[in-house]
């Protein structure tokens, strides 16, 4: 297995992880992982269930505390650059019966601008509505979030991340359980972010769309199983190594070759 | 009498108690909402029970130093310290052991309360003459409340309220989505500690009025009541403050109308009254309105199914469907459709056929999620789209 070296310089990479180990109790979920995200590209984190994909993302954001490891963001420690990162959590991670409306959720993305007591002004609302517009949800601003479909919930989370005007977007399974129209809407937004020079990293579960959606892959199954551009790193061998016996051989070949 | 009480016309002490309780209720309701939305209501119960050892110890200390053991400020300080200790035990247990939070709550609550009861017994044997009234902090007692006490309760309540409102944005963000809040530079653990500290302060402030066992009701019931009336968190906070304040005011006034009516429990019962009223009557989430909505929906479904059966010349078996059809004037008593019944049935069948055609259509099939059996396709599609559908239906007629 040959790994293509990431093209970007680790010192300036939007997200550079070295020696990251995360464990719940004494069971490591992510073990000694190095990752270097390429600037201005879209990277998919793939691996079987329970392989530590989401945990890797959460540790990179310091939502779960790693046991060891060093994380730099654009060459600086995470704490100094946290405002350049926007996070889109898994849809299922929150209670959708919470009393709040769509626009309020998007305005949460402006917390760093607003602070504790800053007043929500007209330009904040306009910005939040623009973000909703980008994900095709402008008509839903005043809806109670519990009335949304799964795909619409995911779009609201994406709009909240857009509101942050970040440079690096980290998404946890953005396409899980969403309808086809939403999947298209989300990928369009992500590609437009890339066109603006932003960097996108997404945990992804659907191997059949990796090739169409992403530039790079990062394969993980507790340990790093491969990293690099699709053409060199997303091969039957690497996918077989990552997923073990969970996928049939023919299936893997079909998924990883150009259609 | 009650009217007089509600307009603060029955004496100085009653007025003090009523205003003090109203302020406490306002502060407790609004602050408790943040806890309620964070889904940690029971932590408040553990914290409030944990005040008891500190209360007794503070009493002993003040008596030992030759002071008045019943000085309210001193008792508040003591109970705050022991509530704080209980809170630290609780968060240590949940964070550093594999104990789930509910088990940790049970352990902390019962151990602190038990220890407090032991101390209370000791106090009673030590200085039998001077301990009078210490156990009244279990359920609150407003008899003989001093002006300084009322002032302390009101000022303390308003301070806590101001702190809670100042922190409302991070508190709500943490309550909705803690992981995301962390990425926004909010220290989730510190926010959780902050809200618990505010809850502890409310407990301590409310000791005299409602007592440590019932204070949790004043924190949670107004929030649960307010949730029935609004879908926006900031309004839920305001409404909870309103319900809490009203409960405090009305409850204290009612208890002043007759001797021997306990203030704290009556305040809680008034709050519960608001809760039951909201549970029944709230337009969005109330029991009554959802029952009515469900019934209306059921009728529509029955009518629709009945019409489709008429159009397909099938017998209608369900009594409810037959009754609805008859009452709408769509069938005669012998089950034969009226002229209007015929035309409505044909329209229903046409709509149904179009929905079926839409499902198999390449570009419109996404809209089939809008098909709930009742929505008319005329509301979903434009005229030209319907015409196109009809062309396809006529091209390949099939029995639907």
SS (HEC) of B173-241: HHHHCHHHHHHCCCCHHHHHHHHHHHHHHHHHHHCCCCHHHHHHHHHHHHHHHHHCCCCCHHHHHHHHH
Residue B113: what pLDDT? 95
Sequence spans of domains, chain B: 2-284, 288-395
State the sign of the Cα–Cα–Cα–Cα dihedral B135, B137, B143, B144.
Answer: positive
Residue B65: what pLDDT? 85
Q: Would you call A147 an interface residue with chain B, using a CB distance cutoff of 8 Å? A: no
Is pLDDT larger for residue B382 or for residue B127? B382
How far apart are alpha carbons B276 and B225 in whole angstroms? 8
When pLDDT is averaged across residues B241-259 and rounded to a whole number, the result is 93
pLDDT beyond 80 at B351: yes
How far apart are alpha carbons A51 and A41 in whole angstroms? 23
Residue B67: what pLDDT? 79
Residue matched to tokens 């309020």: A104
How far apart are alpha carbons A226 and A232 in whole angstroms? 10
Q: Would you call B231 an interface residue with chain A, using a CB distance cutoff of 8 Å? A: yes
How far apart are alpha carbons B177 and B174 in whole angstroms? 5
Environment class of A25 (CB within 10 Å of its CB; exposed 0-12, middle 13-18, buried 19+): exposed
Environment class of A172 (CB within 10 Å of its CB; exposed 0-12, middle 13-18, buried 19+): buried
When pLDDT is averaged across residues A104-133 and rounded to a whole number, the result is 93
Environment class of A154 (CB within 10 Å of its CB; exposed 0-12, middle 13-18, buried 19+): buried
What ipTM was estimated for this complex? 0.89
The mean pLDDT value of chain A amounts to 88
Residue A17: what pLDDT? 94
Q: Would you call A179 an interface residue with chain B, using a CB distance cutoff of 8 Å? A: yes
Residue A1: what pLDDT? 41
The answer to whether A18 and A182 have CB atoms below 8 angstroms apart is no
Q: Would you call B161 an interface residue with chain A, using a CB distance cutoff of 8 Å? A: no
Question: CA B196 from chain center: how many Å?
Answer: 18
| Residue B376: pLDDT band with limits 50, 70, 90 | confident
From A111, A144, A179, residue closest to B173, measured CB to CB: A111
Best residue in B37, B165, B166, B169 for a mutation probing chain A (most A CBs within 10 Å):
B169
The Cα-based distances of B248 to B72, B165, B288 in angstroms read 20, 20, 27
Q: Would you call A184 an interface residue with chain B, using a CB distance cutoff of 8 Å? A: no
pLDDT beyond 50 at B166: yes
Give per-residue pLDDT as tens, A49-79. Answer: 888 999 999 999 999 999 999 999 999 998 8
Q: Which residue of B has its CA nearest to A171?
A: B180
Residue A3: what pLDDT? 46
Residue A249: what pLDDT? 64
Give per-residue pLDDT as tens, B284-340. Answer: 888 999 999 999 989 988 998 899 998 888 888 888 888 898 888 888 888 788 888
Residue matched to tokens 């310091």: A62
Give per-residue pLDDT as tens, A157-173. Answer: 999 999 999 999 999 99
| Residue B208: pLDDT band with limits 50, 70, 90 | confident
Residue B117: what pLDDT? 92
The answer to whether A154 and A202 have CB atoms below 8 angstroms apart is no
Q: Backbone phi, then psi, for B339, in 5-degree steps?
A: -55, -40
Q: Would you call A114 an interface residue with chain B, using a CB distance cutoff of 8 Å? A: yes
Give per-residue pLDDT as tens, A11-34. Answer: 789 999 999 999 887 788 999 999
Task: Give me B263's structure tokens.
Answer: 């203030």
The Cα-based distances of B71 to B59, B65, B176 in angstroms read 8, 13, 41
Residue B363: what pLDDT? 66
How far apart are alpha carbons B369 and A148 in whole angstroms? 13
| Residue B112: pLDDT band with limits 50, 70, 90 | very high
Residue B352: what pLDDT? 86
Q: Would you call A144 an interface residue with chain B, using a CB distance cutoff of 8 Å? A: yes
Q: CA nearest A160: which of A182, A144, A137, A143?
A: A137
How far apart are alpha carbons B336 and B74 in whole angstroms? 84
Q: Is B2-284 a domain of CATH 1.10.3470.10?
A: yes
A98:B175 CB<8 A: yes
Task: Give me A225's structure tokens.
Answer: 């199983």
From B169, B236, B369, residue closest to A116, measured CB to CB: B169
Residue matched to tokens 């909705």: B176
From B179, B227, B232, residue closest to A63, measured CB to CB: B179
Is pLDDT larger for residue B163 or for residue A258? B163
From B169, B230, B366, residue closest to A111, measured CB to CB: B169
From A63, A101, A116, residue closest to B183, measured CB to CB: A63
Q: Which domains, from first to last, does chain A contain?
A: 16-242 (3.40.50.300)
A98:B233 CB<8 A: yes
Is pLDDT larger for residue B133 or for residue B81? B81
Residue A5: what pLDDT? 46
The Cα-based distances of A104 to A164, A166, B96, B181, B231 in angstroms read 14, 19, 35, 14, 11
């Amino acid at each position: 297995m040959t790994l293509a070296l990431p093209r970007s310089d680790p010192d300036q990479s939007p997200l550079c992880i070295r020696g990251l180990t995360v464990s719940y109790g004494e069971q490591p979920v992510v073990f000694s992982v190095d990752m270097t995200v390429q600037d201005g590209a879209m990277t998919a984190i793939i691996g079987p269930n329970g392989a530590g994909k989401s945990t890797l993302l959460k540790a990179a954001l310091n939502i779960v505390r790693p046991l060891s490891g060093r994380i730099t963001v654009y060459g600086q420690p995470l704490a100094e650059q946290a405002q350049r990162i926007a996070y889109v959590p898994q849809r299922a991670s929150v209670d959708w019966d919470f009393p709040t409306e769509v626009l309020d959720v998007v305005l949460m993305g402006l917390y760093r601008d607003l602070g504790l007591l800053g007043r929500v002004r007209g330009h904040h609302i306009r910005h939040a509505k623009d973000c909703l517009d980008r994900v095709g949800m402008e008509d839903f601003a005043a809806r109670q979030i519990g009335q949304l479909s799964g795909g619409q919930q995911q779009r609201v989370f994406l709009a909240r991340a857009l509101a942050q005007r970040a440079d690096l977007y980290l998404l946890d399974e953005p396409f899980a359980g969403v309808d086809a129209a939403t999947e298209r809407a989300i990928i369009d937004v992500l590609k437009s972010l890339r066109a603006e020079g932003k960097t996108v990293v997404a945990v992804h579960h659907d191997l059949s769309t990796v090739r169409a959606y992403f530039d790079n892959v990062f394969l993980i199954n507790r340990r790093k199983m491969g990293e690099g551009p699709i053409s060199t790193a997303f091969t039957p061998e690497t996918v077989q190594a990552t997923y073990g016996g969970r996928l049939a051989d023919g299936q893997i070949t079909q998924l990883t070759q150009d259609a | 009498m009650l009217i007089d009480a509600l307009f603060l016309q029955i004496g100085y002490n009653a007025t003090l108690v009523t205003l003090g309780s109203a302020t406490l209720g306002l502060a407790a309701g609004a602050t408790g909402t943040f806890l309620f939305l964070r889904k940690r209501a029971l932590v408040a119960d553990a914290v409030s029970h944990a005040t008891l050892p500190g209360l007794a110890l503070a009493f002993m200390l003040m008596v030992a130093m030759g002071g008045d053991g019943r000085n309210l400020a001193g008792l508040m300080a003591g109970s705050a310290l022991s509530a704080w200790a209980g809170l630290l035990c609780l968060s240590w247990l949940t964070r550093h052991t594999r104990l789930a939070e509910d088990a940790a709550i049970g352990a902390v609550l019962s151990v602190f309360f038990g220890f407090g009861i032991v101390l209370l017994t000791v106090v009673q044997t030590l200085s039998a003459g001077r301990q009078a009234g210490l156990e009244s902090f279990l359920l609150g007692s407003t008899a003989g409340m001093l002006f300084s006490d009322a002032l302390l309760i009101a000022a303390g309540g308003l301070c806590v309220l101001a702190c809670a409102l100042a922190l409302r944005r991070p508190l709500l963000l943490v309550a909705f989505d803690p992981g995301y809040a962390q990425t926004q530079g909010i220290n989730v653990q510190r926010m959780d500690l902050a809200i618990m500290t505010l809850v502890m302060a409310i407990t301590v402030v409310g000791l005299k009025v409602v007592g440590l066992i019932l204070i949790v009701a004043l924190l949670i019931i107004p929030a649960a009541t307010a949730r029935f009336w609004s879908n926006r968190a900031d309004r839920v906070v305001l409404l909870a403050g309103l319900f809490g304040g009203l409960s405090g005011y009305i409850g204290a006034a009612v208890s002043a109308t007759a001797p021997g009516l306990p203030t704290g429990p009556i305040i809680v019962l008034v709050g519960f009254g608001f809760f039951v009223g909201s549970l029944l009557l709230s337009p969005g989430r109330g029991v009554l309105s959802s029952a009515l909505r469900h019934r209306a929906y059921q009728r529509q479904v029955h009518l629709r199914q009945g019409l489709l059966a008429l159009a397909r010349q099938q017998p209608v078996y369900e009594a409810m469907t037959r009754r609805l059809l008859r009452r709408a004037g769509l069938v005669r008593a012998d089950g034969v459709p009226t002229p209007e019944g015929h035309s409505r049935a044909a329209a229903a069948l046409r709509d149904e056929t179009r929905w079926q055609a839409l499902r198999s259509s390449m570009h419109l099939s996404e809209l089939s999620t809008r098909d709930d059996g009742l929505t008319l396709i005329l509301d979903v599609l434009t005229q030209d789209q319907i015409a196109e559908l009809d062309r396809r239906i006529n091209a390949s007629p099939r029995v639907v």
